[in-house]
Structure 1
Amino acid sequence: MEIRVQSEPFDAGDALTRFSQGHKDVGAIVSFSGLVRVDGGLRYMEIEHYPGMTAKAITALAEQAVARWDLRDLLVIHRYGRLEPGAQIMMVATAAAHRAAAFEAADFLMDYLKSRAPFWKKEVGADGAAWVAAKDEDEAALDRW
């Protein structure tokens, strides 16, 4: 299990290749990369966090996923700092004996990272800056878990 919270960009292909190596006991590896959307005049997004709290919260979430879906391994990378449109924000990869577990665990991790991980996002555009508020659909997505 690897959790990385970093300001630096990452290469999702390289991260997935390294994650996949040596997993001869799995039947499925699922990955997802989240990007900064190009939305209505967005210049950049600023993501803030408290390092100790963030790492602890993501680790607890990852441990829940490993236990619930019997994952062999998982990877979570989440960036902070100033991110331009098109930049990668995060990546999740899960490895399991069967594809259903790998897909479900990845989906669970993405839903909880979006709604519960302690990151604060501010969007900066031509009209100024605004903190990103929680969305009803993101909160509703948690109900299925």
Structure 2
Amino acid sequence: MAAVEPVVRVQADDFDIATENARLTEGRTDVGAVVTFTGLCRDEGGTLAALELEHYPGMAQAEIGRIAREAAERWPLTGLTVIHRHGKIAPGENIVLVVTASAHRQAAFEAANFLMDFLKTRAPFWKKEHRRDGTEGGWVEARDIDDKAAERWHKT
């Protein structure tokens, strides 16, 4: 069986989770599980006005596509969608969406988890904080915990 062709979009506009979910399931009877992960902009300290996500056009979509195709080859998926936003995103707004569909739940869960681990570490996005007081919080550094999470997928 050939791997599914993932849908990958990098966009400034928000996305609708229900619409994206329906695209993978509408008219299908072979889907037994859909896992949806939505990453949101959070403001833990109450000082964030927006998180600005910059990317290298073309390169970001290509790298996400490569990661998504790897997931589609590793797990028996019936559908896969990855959407990552760029631009200024306010706290509480959507940043990223991963939707995996499969005949069985384990494949859908594992593929979604794999995708998020690698999106956090390999997708070429840079995050800059803008604070409510008008100052810039600077660029957000990569976290070791994200690298460690991605390492587990290299183990046999």
Q: Give the TM-score category using the shorter length.
A: over 0.9
Offset at residue 18 of structure 1 (A): 2.4
2:52 counterpart (41, 46, 55):
46
* Identical counterparts, % of pairs: 51
Offset at residue 16 of structure 1 (A): 1.4
> TM-score, normalization: structure 1?
0.95
Q: Tell whether the 8 Å contact from 2:52 to 2:127 is kept in structure 1 after alignment.
A: yes
1:7 maps to 12
2:108 counterpart (96, 102, 107):
102
Number of residue-to-residue matches in the alignment: 145
Greater Cα offset, 19-28 or 82-91: 19-28
SS at structure 2 position matched to 1:30? strand
Q: Tell whether the 8 Å contact from 2:126 to 2:140 is kept in structure 1 after alignment.
A: yes
1:123 maps to 129
Offset at residue 45 of structure 1 (A): 0.4
Offset at residue 94 of structure 1 (A): 0.5
1:29 counterpart (31, 34, 52):
34
SS at structure 1 position matched to 2:21? helix
CA distance in 1, matches of 2:67, 2:28: 22
2:119 counterpart (110, 113, 130):
113
What root-mean-square deviation, in Å, do the aligned CA atoms of Structure 1 and Structure 2 show?
1.1
- Can you list the C-alpha shifts for 1:50-71, whole angstroms capped at 9, x where unaligned? 1111111011101100000121
CA distance in 2, matches of 1:111, 1:128: 27
Q: Are 1:142 and 2:153 an aligned pair? A: no
Q: Tell whether the 8 Å contact from 2:25 to 2:31 is kept in structure 1 after alignment.
A: no
Structure 1 residue ranges (4+ consecutive) displaced by more than 6 angstroms after TM superposition? none
2:3 maps to none
> TM-score, normalization: structure 2?
0.88
SS at structure 2 position matched to 1:140? helix
